[in-house]
Amino acid sequence: MSLLAVADALSRLLSSASSISRSEMIGLHDAAGRVLAADVSARLTHPAFDNSAMDGYALRHADIEQIGSELTVVGQSAAGHGFSGAVGPGEAVRIFTGAPLPAGADTVLIQEDAEVLEGNRIRTTFKTAKGRHIRPKGQDFATGDVVLRAGERVDAGRLTVAAGMNHAELPVLARPKIAILATGDELRHPGSVPGPDQIIASNTYGVAAIARENGADVIDLGIVGDSPEAISAAVERAVAEKADVLVTLGGASVGDHDLVQSTLVSCGMTLDFWRIAMRPGKPLMVGMLGDMHVLGLPGNPVSSLVCSLLFLEPLTRRLAGLKPRDRSARALTTEPLPGNDKRQDYMRARLTVDSQGQLMASPFLRQDSSMMQVFAQSDCLIIRPPGALPIEAGAPCDIMLLRHPSSDR
């Protein structure tokens, strides 16, 4: 099988993916970041009554057409404690922000424009327009109005208006279930003491973080050895858990000890492709096992993370009903970059911002795909397309943002 271009591989992966249809009702405190599964309508009218937008005096505009008009203050209206009477000719009611507008009043004179006199009297010092400083009933929304739409992501503003519409719960899409399986006789859990031929399994944690950051729930299938029986048992668990995606780490190639692909095929997986024209991360496997997507990532930690950002992130967001995340940007390279071969290269680099606000990308000297520390220190990946010609320091280059230099590092 020939190497598949990165863009073609992503297109084929996403062609069989759509937003999951499962939904659930969750409380407002848990709804931030979730995607609405249905339209949300107002259960009440807001404001529920005409009310004052300012502290001042509720009155009839006909009584203050001239500066210096005097009125008698006959009562008070505060939030939660409205004035029960009505405003008559020559009368005013002391009113506070959010308080109900008394019957008979059609204007609010702000307190800065009123001179307080003796004997519950006021005198106007400014000419106010009729209807000023009043929030009319239903100005925001009325009962039955559709305010939030299916497919919108719940943020602070949408969460606030949902509460204001008197919803204690919201209908949201269920999170995609991403099952992650690490394979290899050499792997041991963090915190254990590895033997002379063993290494600590690290990929699961970064891949799981990417899945969660993009709206998924993660099912950790743990570590299994290089055994068809153990791999098959883990796959059966993923199916039983109704995972939307099975992510395998390592063993997806076709070497003597790479058993994941052949075992998955024997379990019923339809293989789409498994080799990508990219560096790092060539041995990436994509297939379907029933309704479950299968994504086989390389075993090298950096390869696994780069492939997760390029393929798992967009797949997860598609399933979660989220818009694609655009990590693309342009920068100037601080070092000369060599020409490239037939594989698209993703070079780890640090970012800085010069005095003109221009992003500057500095590639690390060593780019080995097993070097986790270099990836952890990287702010971006410099993208070198297949057949790219050498470029000098200061030349523009395409980058994939991992974090912005202005972010909390």
> What is the CATH code for 23-46+140-173?
3.90.105.10
The single-letter code of the amino acid at 69 is S
The token duo for 383 is 């993208």
pTM, entire model: 0.88
Q: Using one digit for the tens of pLDDT, what is the confidence trace for 138-168?
A: 999 999 999 999 999 999 999 999 999 999 9
CATH 2.170.190.11 spans which residues of the chain? 51-135
Would you tell me how many other CB atoms lie within 10 Å of the CB of residue 390? 10
Instruction: Give the right CATH number for 6-21+176-320 from 3.50.50.60, 3.40.50.2000, 3.40.980.10, 3.20.20.70.
Output: 3.40.980.10
Q: Using one digit for the tens of pLDDT, what is the confidence trace for 341-352?
A: 999 999 999 999
Name the band, by pLDDT with cuts 50, 70 and 90, for residue 121: very high
The CATH fold of domain 328-401: Beta-clip (2.40.340)
Would you tell me how many other CB atoms lie within 10 Å of the CB of residue 131? 11
Residues 272 and 344 sit within 8 Å (Cβ to Cβ) = no
CATH 2.40.340.10 spans which residues of the chain? 328-401
Q: Using one digit for the tens of pLDDT, what is the confidence trace for 353-395?
A: 999 999 999 999 999 888 999 999 999 999 999 999 999 999 9
- Which strands sit side by side in the sheet containing 91-95, from one edge to the other? 107-110, 56-59, 91-95, 70-77, 121-124, 114-117
Smallest Cα–Cα separation from 246: which of 258, 233, 260, 235? 235
Name the band, by pLDDT with cuts 50, 70 and 90, for residue 252: low
Smallest Cα–Cα separation from 179: which of 322, 13, 53, 319? 319
Q: Using one digit for the tens of pLDDT, what is the confidence trace for 40-65?
A: 999 999 999 999 999 999 999 999 99
Residues 58 and 95 sit within 8 Å (Cβ to Cβ) = yes
Instruction: Report, in angstroms and rounded to the nearest whole number, the Rg of the chain calculated over CA atoms.
Output: 32
Q: What is the pLDDT of residue 202?
A: 93
pLDDT at 73 over 80: yes
> What is the CATH code for 51-135?
2.170.190.11
The whole-chain average pLDDT of the chain stands at: 95
CATH 3.90.105.10 spans which residues of the chain? 23-46+140-173
Sign of the CA dihedral with 340 first, then 341, 342, and 345 last = negative
Gap between the Cα atoms of 378 and 394, Å rounded: 19
Gap between the Cα atoms of 2 and 142, Å rounded: 60
CATH 3.40.980.10 spans which residues of the chain? 6-21+176-320
Gap between the Cα atoms of 107 and 104, Å rounded: 10
